[in-house]
Amino acid sequence: MAVLVLEASPPGIASGRRRTAVVAGARDVLPVLLALLPLGLVVGATIGESSVDHGVGWLGAALVYGASAHITAMAMLSTGASGLSVIVAVLVINSRGVIYGAGLASRMHGQPRWFRWLGPYFLVDPLYALVSGRTRPGDGVEWIRWYYLGGALTIWVMWMPTVGAGLLVGGSLPAAAQLNFALPAMLIGFLVPSLCGGKGRVAAAVGGIVGLFGTGAGGLALPVSVAAGVTAALLVEWRKR
């Protein structure tokens, strides 16, 4: 999962207009779902081809909640890797969430405790890009909270059935064809709209270079290149500040 930056920010929200913010977040994330659909099918197909119990693998989509980490976990478990090594690999791949959290820190100041515990679970690449691109710290604590949850729940509700569909029908496509179809679709959907900004160009350049030289890293090539691109973009932003 990568970066999508949309234009314009929603207006501030008065107390009690939660539904407006939730609907706005759900509406704005809809274009992202087109890029996520093929990736969810790939995750489901990977579960179907692994030696892991299919029900357990599908539930893992909610527990791990990250395509690259989930695919890596399924592959490692199928080859007999130890539980500890799988956990370490998943943590490393999902460590970019720490970077995303730092990027949203100014917007999350003053949020209630329940949201500070729940919110990070949903913080995947497209949600970070959506919230960082469509909100500002001055939009108000309540607006940002419910806008975030509107986008987050829309992605989650789409993700689980899509993974299940991939589990059922993914075997009809060759594994190479599945990956060649899904990953470019995801990257195009996320990255192209962001190239209009300086940070987007930096992220695309750094991520592309790291991905090019990391092609031999197997399943880690994509998450490492994404993390490198996002890190570069955040460094540009912090330097400006």
pLDDT in tens, 113-165: 899 899 989 988 888 888 888 888 788 888 899 999 999 999 999 999 999 99
In this prediction, residue 227 carries a pLDDT of 63
pLDDT of residue 101 exceeding 90, the answer is: no
Residues sharing a CB contact under 8 Å with residue 122, sequence separation 6 or more, in sequence order: 65, 148, 149, 152, 153, 155, 156
In this prediction, residue 100 carries a pLDDT of 79
pLDDT in tens, 152-198: 999 999 999 999 998 888 666 555 444 444 444 444 444 444 444 55
pLDDT in tens, 187-227: 444 444 444 455 556 666 666 666 556 545 544 555 566 66
In this prediction, residue 52 carries a pLDDT of 83
In 165-233, which ranges are E strands? none
Residues sharing a CB contact under 8 Å with residue 89, sequence separation 6 or more, in sequence order: 69, 72, 73, 76
Length of the chain: 241
151 touches 23 (CB < 8 A): no
Reduced to 3 states (helix: H, G, I; strand: E, B; else coil), residue 241 is: coil
Domain ranges of the chain: 18-193
